[in-house]
Structure 1
Amino acid sequence: MVSDAALQLFSALLWNTVLICAPVLGLTLLVGVGVSIFQAVTQIQDMSLSFLPKLVAAFIGLVAFGPWMLRRLVSYATQVISSLPGQF
Structure 2
Amino acid sequence: MEGKLMALAIETYKITLYVSLPMLLVGLAVGLFVSIFQATTQINEMTLTFVPKILAVIAVLIFLSPWMMNQILDFTKKVFDLIPSFPF
- TM-score normalized by structure 1? 0.95
Cα RMSD for the two superposed structures: 0.7
Alpha-carbon deviation of 1:41?
0.3
Alpha-carbon deviation of 1:87?
3.5
- TM-score normalized by structure 2? 0.95
Hey, which bits of structure 1, 4+ residues long, moved more than 6 A?
Answer: none
Structure 1 gaps of 5+ residues are none
Alpha-carbon deviation of 1:73?
0.4
CA distance in 1, matches of 2:69, 2:44: 37
The higher-RCO structure (CA 8 Å, 6+ apart) is 1
State the match for 2:10 in structure 1.
11
1:19-78, Cα deviation, whole Å (9 max, x unpaired): 000011111111000000000000101010000000000100101111101100000010
CA distance in 2, matches of 1:67, 1:5: 29
Identity %: 32
CA distance in 2, matches of 1:47, 1:64: 27
Q: Which amino acid aligns with 1:16?
A: I
* Structural mapping, 1:1-88, within 5 Å: 2-88=1-87
